[in-house]
Amino acid sequence: MSDALARRDERDLRDTMVDGSELHARLAKTWGTGRGLIAALSTVDHKIVARRYLVTAFVFLFLGGLSAAAMRIQLARPENQFIGPDLYNQLFTMHGTTMMFLFAVPVMEAVGIYLVPLMLGTRNIAFPRLNAFSYWVFLFGGLFLWVAFILNIGPDVGWFAYTPLSGPQYSPGKRTDVWAQMITFTEIAALATAVEFIVTILKQRAPGMTLDRIPLFVWAILVTSFVIVFAMPAVMVASTMLILDRLIGTHFFNPSEGGDSLLWQHLFWFFGHPEVYIIFLPAAGMVSSIVVAFARRPALGYLPLVLSLIAVGFLSFGLWVHHMFTTGLPQLGAAFFTANSMLIAIPNGIQIFCWIATLWGGKPVFRTPLLFVLGFFFIFVLGGLSGIMLASVPIDTQVHDTYFVVAHFHYVLIGGAVFPLLGAVYYWFPKITGRMMSERLGRWNFWLAFIGFNLAFFPMHLLGLQGMPRRVYTYQPEMGWGTLNLLATIGSVILLISFVLFLWNVVSSNRRGEIAGDNPWDAGTLEWATSSPPPPQNFDRIPLVTSREPLWAERGPLPVVGGLAVDMRQVVVGTVTEARPILRESSPEPSIWPLFAAIAVGGTFLGSIFTPWAVVWGSIPVAITLIGWFWPSGSPEDEK
Amino acid sequence: MKAHRLAEDLSALPTYGFGTSMTMWWGTLGFCALEGMGFALAIGAYLYLVHVNAQWPLADVPPNHWPGTILTIILLASIWPNLQAERRAREENLPAVRRWLIVMCALGALLVAIRFYEFTQLNVRWDQNAYGSITWIILGLHAAHLLTDLGDTAVLAALMFTRHAKGKRFSDVEDNAFYWYFVVGSWLPLYLLVYWVPRW
Ligand code: HEM
């Protein structure tokens, strides 16, 4: 490396020159967000952005849950008059779209944004301004969808908006445009965070955290991010084509002008199936963290667990056609995708065996987080079994578009993602807020959720086998589906109550919960080495990692590295495989520009559904805000 | 916060570097990967439409390839000045970096102008049929890259004439040059698709 590179300003204050509370206070000032509205809107602290992401995603969970409750009330008995067909169409579309795009994916990213930098022992995520931008874009996309729904222009073509139904001919008006642009918003947000994760994980790990010492949750986020990078562009391309078909008269999906409706399905499911794993893989990472902490021993089969994550990531791209078995594909094609669909059960199975073996060989402590993990095992395995059934073309042909499928995907989505997520909230809540959640309420929460869930969704398998189609707003009494539907509705209400209880537990524990301390579960990974909640700088000095569970290996004082600046934001950047430190790179300070850029981008998208010229004129404010964002302000972070 | 003991001093590490040592390089690579995936899917969609239509192109005459061919030649030639900008940035040679950035801006503006002309020479409108639609979207997708890179390069060039033109800015110049290779490389398959597949 040249001398010019090694040259440095000798006057700057380093963390080797100060110590103790002075160091802590100075770093907190350097990395802090400041007071006031402008400061709050300018923050780039990953913990604050993640908290906003979390709260917003949970609000969307409740909105999605309320739309589900409305649907279940309507279906509770035959020929019910609670909701008419048009509103029902909007409701299932809003429910599916909200749950997938505004809750499940963002919430997993939110947990990652909070935890990944802490688990890696760094002070902020890579590209923190992009991170702030991604939150704003996500928020605007979600608001856009729900405000449209309130104005009675909520989309009504299902969460996968099949053409030709969603095309200009069968869906005139703005409803589907809203859907298509909301996709663009949320995918931009997700792609931005994926790139941040990849770079943070590859480059900003604490010195000594070689690839085989990366916490399993972080591995899961890394694999998920790669899946996002390669899957999400498909839905962006698809939704752009759809909106062009609708707004400026292109013919991508119009068979009479050389287009093809199945092109939509291919593009959508090329994204849509990996999407399921974008939701499930981080949840698997949460399960690993919880299992290890509560089994009180390192994971049994760290390597197989990591390899399974990677295998699932790859295989998830070979499955999309299994959503299209009934579209008349060539036989050989269908056989290939069946084989692949069954193959993916293997790495998933390996993970489950590793977790069970870890618990078996440990001394498990059955607290609420672990209860949710056990609930996950049960429900997810059942969902996997109905999945294997669906992977076979003859069965799929029979039950396609029935409630059997609705049952299946709620078993995998709620079992595979929501249960681990709730466990994760109980597990990491003390880190985020400094207080424990109530264990008593937690147990009630778990049992109500578990019983309510199974009561709500198990009957749907039977309903599907009896032929009840999905996406119908009512059914005739002669069909004999009344009792099972009533049961499902009762289950949904119990499930809903469990969520209210959860909310109550969060709110009340946040105020009055028992003080947690740094490491209430005596867990081994780095996020537990700092205080709860962590200070703005995360760590006063960057840890030096010597093992996979640093806090279990180093029961005495933690070894750390020094030499970073105190009065400006600096992070340690290392090599990709060994995490050998090579730079003290500066990290951007807060800025209001990401918010402005998000407003400009959002306004452009919004305008584009009214006139294509919005894209031309909108590019001007977008360009201005981006220049504002990147132009150096003269701060030390910008100049060194 | 857990008690700690100092085990290693990183004071001597530099605050910036070039290429793979910086986070920005990896971020750029990440965006290249996801945009490249977007191109790959657009190519897939094009070939899919070729496959489902008995006749291709769905127009009497294929696009006039000359504007596209000239653009391709200039794009390929631009690799050399781009390489110069990259190398001079690594040497932190400010006057040379300024010069080559201006050259790259001029080339970028020329390319954007040619690209606009290309649209008029396609012999098909976007709303005529699916062939027109996919041809326009592919050209448009790449045009967006030409435009944003021109914007980036212009801002960076302006920046190099201010007091901020030091230290890690040189690394930014290098990353900008790196992205240009992606813009050039991703065009080559698109060029074949847009201009030569209809002549097959
Ligand atoms: C909170 C409890 C939930 C209940 C009671 C519930 C209920 C329902 C019902 C009744 C439908 C079928 C509507 C129909 O076909 O007529 C449905 C569809 C759907 N649900 Fe849920 N759901 C819940 C949670 C979730 C979650 C957490 C997710 C995703 C993470 C999800 C994703 C979906 C999707 C993607 C659809 C398909 C929508 C469509 O057909 O376009 N649901 N849900």
The model's pLDDT over A246-256, given as tens digits with 9 standing for 90+, comes to 999 999 999 99
Question: What's B24-50+66-199's CATH class?
Answer: mainly alpha
Nearest alpha-carbon partner for B147 in B185, B121, B186, B115: B115
- Please check the confidence at residue A2 and state whether its pLDDT lies above 60: no
- Please check the confidence at residue A489 and state whether its pLDDT lies above 60: yes
- Please check the confidence at residue A549 and state whether its pLDDT lies above 70: yes
Which of A66, A82, A99 to mutate to test ligand 1, by most ligand atoms within 8 A of the CB atom? A99
> Rounded to 5 degrees, what are φ and ψ at A565?
-65, 150
Mean of all residue pLDDT scores within chain A: 93
- In this complex, the residue of A194, A267, A562 whose CB is nearest that of residue B9 is A562
- In this complex, the residue of A196, A250, A562 whose CB is nearest that of residue B6 is A562
- Please check the confidence at residue A580 and state whether its pLDDT lies above 90: yes
Average pLDDT over residues A481-502: 97
In chain B, which residues have their Cβ closer than 8 Å to the Cβ of A583?
A: 13-17, 21-22
pLDDT band with cut points at 50, 70 and 90 for residue A3:
very low
Average pLDDT over residues A316-343: 76
pLDDT band with cut points at 50, 70 and 90 for residue A332:
low
Beta bridge mates, A515: A435
Name the pTM for this structure: 0.95
Which of A88, A92, A265 to mutate to test ligand 1, by most ligand atoms within 8 A of the CB atom? A92
Does residue A561 sit in helix, strand or coil?
Answer: strand
Q: Residue A3: which region, alpha, beta or left (left: phi > 0; alpha: psi -120 to 50)? A: alpha
For B62, which DSSP code? P
Q: How many CA atoms lie within 13 A of B23 on its CB side?
A: 29
Q: What is the pLDDT of residue A492?
A: 97
Q: What is the pLDDT of residue A635?
A: 84
Percent of chain A with pLDDT over 70: 98
- Please check the confidence at residue A325 and state whether its pLDDT lies above 90: no
List the pLDDT tens digit at each of the 200 positions of chain B: 788 999 999 999 999 999 999 999 999 999 999 999 999 999 999 999 999 999 999 999 999 999 999 999 999 999 999 999 999 999 999 999 999 999 999 999 999 999 999 999 999 999 999 999 999 999 999 999 999 999 999 999 999 999 999 889 999 999 999 999 999 999 999 999 999 999 98
Residues with CB under 6 A from ligand 1: A 65, 68, 71-72, 92-93, 95-96, 99-100, 104, 158-159, 406, 410, 413-414, 417-418, 456, 470-471, 492, 495
Tokens coding A567: 């009065």
pLDDT band with cut points at 50, 70 and 90 for residue A334:
confident
A71 Cα to the center of ligand 1, angstroms = 9
- Please check the confidence at residue A185 and state whether its pLDDT lies above 60: yes
- Non-local (6+) Cβ contacts of B183 within 8 A are B75, B142, B145, B146, B149
C-alpha A592/C-alpha A34 separation (Å) is 13
Instruction: Calculate how close chain A gets to B69, using CA atoms only, in Å.
Output: 26
Q: Please, which contacts does B155-159 make with residues 24 or more away whose CB atoms are closer than 8 Å?
A: B155/A627, B155/A630, B155/A631, B156/B101, B157/B98, B157/B101, B157/B102, B157/B104, B157/B105, B159/A631, B159/A632
Q: Which among A257, A518, A629 is the top mutation candidate for probing chain B, defined by the most B β-carbons within 10 Å of its own β-carbon?
A: A257
Q: How many CA atoms lie within 13 A of A25 on its CB side?
A: 4
Nearest alpha-carbon partner for B168 in B86, B90, B84, B97: B90
Average pLDDT over residues A512-527: 95
Which position has the higher pLDDT, B82 or A363?
B82
Give CA torsion, residues A574, A575, A580, A581, to 10 deg.
-30
A512: buried, middle or exposed (CB in 10 Å: 19+, 13-18, 0-12)? exposed
The letter for the amino acid at A471 is R
DSSP A442-490: HHHHHHHHHHHHHHHHHHHHHHHHTTPBSS-S---GGG--HHHHHHHHH
Cα A520–Cα A522–Cα A524 angle in degrees, nearest 5: 130
pLDDT band with cut points at 50, 70 and 90 for residue A335:
confident
- Please check the confidence at residue A338 and state whether its pLDDT lies above 90: no
Q: Where are the domains of chain B?
A: 24-50+66-199
pLDDT digits (tens, 9 = 90+) for A413-458: 999 999 999 999 999 999 999 999 999 999 999 999 999 999 999 9
C-alpha B97/C-alpha B83 separation (Å) is 11
Nearest alpha-carbon partner for A121 in A575, A443, A522, A550: A550
For A418, which DSSP code? I
Q: What is the pLDDT of residue A396?
A: 87
- Please check the confidence at residue A357 and state whether its pLDDT lies above 90: yes
Instruction: Calculate how close chain B gets to A560, using CA atoms only, in Å.
Output: 5
pLDDT digits (tens, 9 = 90+) for A139-171: 999 999 999 999 999 999 999 999 999 999 999
Does residue A581 sit in helix, strand or coil?
Answer: strand
Give CA torsion, residues A160, A165, A167, A171, to 10 deg.
-110
C-alpha B137/C-alpha B121 separation (Å) is 15
Q: How many CA atoms lie within 13 A of A377 on its CB side?
A: 18
Q: What is the pLDDT of residue A10?
A: 44
